[in-house]
Amino acid sequence: MTTATASHDDHGHHGPAKGIMRWVLTTNHKDIGSMYLWFSFAMLLTGGVMALIVRAELFQPGMQLIRPEFYNQMTTMHGLIMVFGAIMPAFVGLANWMVPLMIGAPDMALPRMNNWSFWILPFAFGMLLFTLFTEAGAPNFGWTFYAPLSTTYAPSSVTYFIFGVHMMGISSIMGAINIIVTILNLRAPGMTLMKMPLFVWTWFITAYLLVAVMPVLAGVVTMMLMDIHYGTAFFDAAGGGDPVLFQHVFWFFGHPEVYIMILPAFGIVSQIIPTFARKPLFGYASMVYATSSIAFLSFIVWAHHMFTVGLPLQTELFFMYATMLIAIPTGVKVFNWVSTMFRGSMTFETPMLFAIAFVVLFTIGGFSGLMLSIAPADFQYHDTYFVVAHFHYVLVPGALFGIIAGVYYWLPKWTGHYYNENLGKFHFWMSFIGVNITFFPMHFIGLAGMPRRIPDYALQFADFNAIATVGAFIFGFSQLIFLFLLIKTIRGGEKATDRVWEGAEGLEWTIPSPAPYHTFAEPPHVK
Amino acid sequence: MATSNYYVPESSYFPIVASLGLIGMAAGAGGMMNHMSAGGEGFVFPHFVFTAGSLLLAFIFFQWFGKVITESRAGMYSPQMDKSFRWGMSWFIFSEVMFFVAFFGVLLYVRQWAGPWLDGQGDKGSTHMLWPDFDYAWPMFNNPAGADFPGPQAVIDPWHIPLLNTVLLMTSSVTLTIAHHALRAMHRGKTIFWLAVTVILGGIFVYYQILEYIEAYTELGLTLDSGIYGSTFFMLTGFHGLHVTIGAFILFIMWIRICKGHFTPDQHFGFEAAAWYWHFVDMVWVGLFLFVYIL
């Protein structure tokens, strides 16, 4: 797609500082990207342990291991940590590492602010996790924190949760602004918008979504704070407010948010599939337009999360049809990925395996989403395990597989070493099998009526729950293979070439492996 | 498009200290509010944490922005860097717009749907059964549960202080533009004068806003606890007032910088960013005057 005429340079700059302060004080996009990625991996394991606690309790009907109060804290914290601590920072980490390399920029546009965006997060999550050890316990109202559960009936830790969300919001907005400015202003000469790699395009659109909706999240938690501590009545009908209003404002943030968690994965997969199919991406321009359409539609579909709350009929109809429209641009994307692979010279290295699994399993999640978008049918599915199955299919083999695929794809560029392909494939198959054993049965128990967020269940759901728990443990412990592989690759391995992959195209493959500390101090010229 | 001299700063202690300040503020504020709502009194440990965090953050912001000014004046920023700041500020203001959009949306929803439904009108009028005596009107003087949320006796008359404040802010936009033109024409004295007028007008606005709040609390019974009218009123005007205060403070910093001779007719983005912010705050006020006070 793009070729560089003038190559990289890495002269005249000193390397990284020594010791821990290198990481604390750094303004280097690669250092900051690495910190984001390690932080998100730590959060993935933390949130994963919580998920395993939940699954262990659900292994059998009845209460075995934990109290219901603690179960609620686990589901809540699992959701919050995975959404805000694992998936989002991982994408920002990948953007930090790769966007400057892909557009030929010397660094991110605003490097000090970049560091601040990162270093807010460990403190915010530290505060959130600390509430687990307080007397009142951690937040227990679900990651969607619906009022009045999160206001009138909330534990006192909700105040810390609110300020934690504010901090994550500040971090996300600054990170997103940085990415937008970098893409708009730091592209190498000749890198026009329609020559940008799709990962850059999808992140550009994602960053726009972040800047648009994170302030709305800040608004909704601020209103909660006022209701809880200062006597306002935003979400209290007794004072003329409305608890449903909470859901409207929350999902006005929340629906773009779910695309924030998937669009960069679309971009990663759109980088990987052409490389291993050894063909240019099919329908590049339509990919850009489809991503933009999805982003636009994400603002006018929020109430499909609220079909059963009591909305006027015409509202239900509008949001039902608007939601169904999303299937069109998404279908365009899936069609393009499949068409890229069609008659390609395909090989199946680990990134490609994860990318293909992404296309297949994300599509399953997309189809169950289409089922959920049908308002009359949603009255049956709402708040059941079918919804849990749906969003875990788009978030785990969707977003998370996209992230893992990207890490495998770019790891040789980052570390200078090829990872162990056999170990990578082992990690893939364990994850693939584990994820499907975990989440596929949830479709069935959901359709049969098992409600979500309940620590106990009726006997007829026992078999599938037991299977799901086994799958969850397989999937969870498989990630230790990943951790082992990452450490092993960083410490050594077969020396990677500059191009890394035979079919790889783009500026990031023109620089040495491992990527020097400073790259593109002189911008390359893109033809 | 990239040039070869894009400035990438060396490692910096600003971000980590700012993070420490921020977590101090956040954790401290959380503790303070929980202490307050639990009926506690006095200056306790969270108050100390909050104060220390705020001071630390303010201190590091002075350092950080000071460093940016020094670097800018040392000529380390290329025109491309200037563009980064412009894009950055524009998108920051967009995020602020979306923050206010959330609250305006809340006002719209309450007035257009939630209120009438509670009164038995419209598609979801069945909610009327919750409080059969409730009649919807805006301003909402009688809340559904009047015992828990006693409504206000009266609301602010738009044609007194709010109208005056509208005139003040509109005028300040004009005086700011005059100052900008003077800056571009190298009339430093004129710039200093008109910018000072702008800051003073902003200060008077905040003063009147405080008077209005005192009137609301002491004479009208319009408080944060007086139901959804008070909630939306104070949320919208309060956050706007906060933004005016911040904007006036930024303009004041610009005033000091102009007095020190910092800007040139072509290079004064600090001033322009402050002006953009001020105009944004103005536009929000127009929305407030229309939808909160008049309509």
Q: What's the pLDDT at B4?
A: 57
How many structural domains compose chain B? Answer: 2
Catalytic residue among A9, A10, A38, A143: A143
User: φ and ψ at A495, to 5 degrees?
Assistant: -70, 130
Q: What is the pLDDT of residues A128-152, one digit of tens each?
A: 999 999 999 999 999 999 999 999 9
Q: Which of the listed residues B14, B49, B77 is the one where a domain comes to its end? A: B77
- Are B176 and B54 found together in one domain? no
Instruction: Answer yes or no: is A444 within a domain.
Output: yes
- Are B37 and B176 found together in one domain? no
On whether the CB atoms of residues A253 and A221 are closer than 8 A, the answer is no
What is the rounded average pLDDT of the residues B54-63?
98
Q: What's the pLDDT at B10?
A: 86
- Are B63 and B90 found together in one domain? no
A270 is catalytic: yes
- Are B131 and B233 found together in one domain? yes
pLDDT for B141 beyond 90: yes
Q: Is B4 touching A (CB cutoff 8 A)? A: yes
pLDDT band at B6 (very low <50, low <70, confident <90, very high): confident
Site of tokens 């394991």 = A45
CB contact under 8 A, A232 and B110: no
- Are B88 and B177 found together in one domain? yes
Which chain A residues have a beta carbon less than 8 Å from that of B91? 176-177, 180-181, 211
Instruction: Answer yes or no: is A511 within a domain.
Output: no
CB contact under 8 A, B127 and A127: no
Instruction: Answer yes or no: is A501 within a domain.
Output: no
Domain around B45: 1-77
Catalytic residue among A305, A390, A392, A427: A305
- Are B267 and B248 found together in one domain? yes
DSSP code of residue A64: -
Q: Is B256 touching A (CB cutoff 8 A)? A: no
- Are B73 and B83 found together in one domain? no
Nearby residues of B256 by Cβ (< 8 Å), 6 or more positions away = none
- Nearest by CB to residue B224, choosing from A17, A156, A232, is A232
Instruction: Answer yes or no: is A505 within a domain.
Output: no
Q: What is the DSSP string of B201-212?
A: HHHHHHHHHHHH
Instruction: Answer yes or no: is A513 within a domain.
Output: no
Helix (H) or strand (E) holding A385, with range, is helix A385-394
Give the residue from chain B lying closest to A193, CA to CA: B1
Q: Which of the listed residues B77, B108, B134 is the one where a domain comes to its end? A: B77
Q: Is B110 touching A (CB cutoff 8 A)? A: yes
- C-alpha A75/C-alpha A88 separation (Å) is 18
Instruction: Answer yes or no: is A502 within a domain.
Output: no
pLDDT for B1 beyond 60: no
Q: Considering all CA atoms of chain B, what is the largest pairwise distance in Å, rounded to the nearest integer?
A: 72
Instruction: Answer yes or no: is A13 within a domain.
Output: no
Give the residue from chain B lying closest to A15, CA to CA: B10
DSSP code of residue B78: -
Encoded amino acid at B136, one letter: Y
The per-residue pLDDT of chain B, averaged, comes to 95
- Nearest by CB to residue B22, choosing from A126, A167, A228, is A167
Domain around A185: 21-494
CATH number of the structural domain spanning residue B132: 1.20.120.80
Q: What's the pLDDT at B5?
A: 74
Q: What is the pLDDT of residues A437-463, one digit of tens each?
A: 999 999 999 999 999 999 999 999 999
A259 is catalytic: yes
What is the rounded average pLDDT of the residues B73-81?
92
CB contact under 8 A, A237 and B140: no
DSSP code of residue B269: H
- Are B64 and B151 found together in one domain? no
> In chain B, where do the E strands start and end?
none
pLDDT for B193 beyond 80: yes
- Distance between terminal CA atoms of chain B? 48
- C-alpha B43/C-alpha B40 separation (Å) is 9
**Sites in chain A below the pLDDT cut of 70:** 1-14
- C-alpha A101/C-alpha A399 separation (Å) is 22
On whether the CB atoms of residues B142 and B151 are closer than 8 A, the answer is yes
How many structural domains compose chain A? Answer: 1
Q: What's the pLDDT at A14?
A: 59
- Nearest by CB to residue A115, choosing from B15, B38, B123, is B15
Q: Which of the listed residues B77, B93, B112 is the one where a domain comes to its end? A: B77
- Are B11 and B141 found together in one domain? no
Residue A407 structure tokens: 């890490």
Q: State how far residue A65 is from chain B, nearest Cα, in angstroms.
A: 31
Q: Helix A350-373 and helix A263-277: axis angle, to 10°? A: 140
Instruction: Answer yes or no: is A522 within a domain.
Output: no
CATH number of the structural domain spanning residue A266: 1.20.210.10
In 3-state terms, what secondary structure has residue A518? coil
Give the residue from chain B lying closest to A103, CA to CA: B2
In 3-state terms, what secondary structure has residue A384? strand
- Are B227 and B248 found together in one domain? yes
Q: What's the pLDDT at A85?
A: 97
Q: What's the pLDDT at A15?
A: 73
* Cα dihedral across residues A216, A220, A222, A226: positive or negative: positive
- Are B99 and B214 found together in one domain? yes
- Are B172 and B104 found together in one domain? yes
- Interface confidence, given as ipTM, is 0.96
Q: State how far residue A507 is from chain B, nearest Cα, in angstroms.
A: 15
Q: What is the pLDDT of residues B101-126, one digit of tens each?
A: 999 999 999 999 999 999 999 888 89
CB contact under 8 A, B1 and A107: no
On whether the CB atoms of residues A132 and A73 are closer than 8 A, the answer is yes
Which chain A residues have a beta carbon less than 8 Å from that of B131? 238
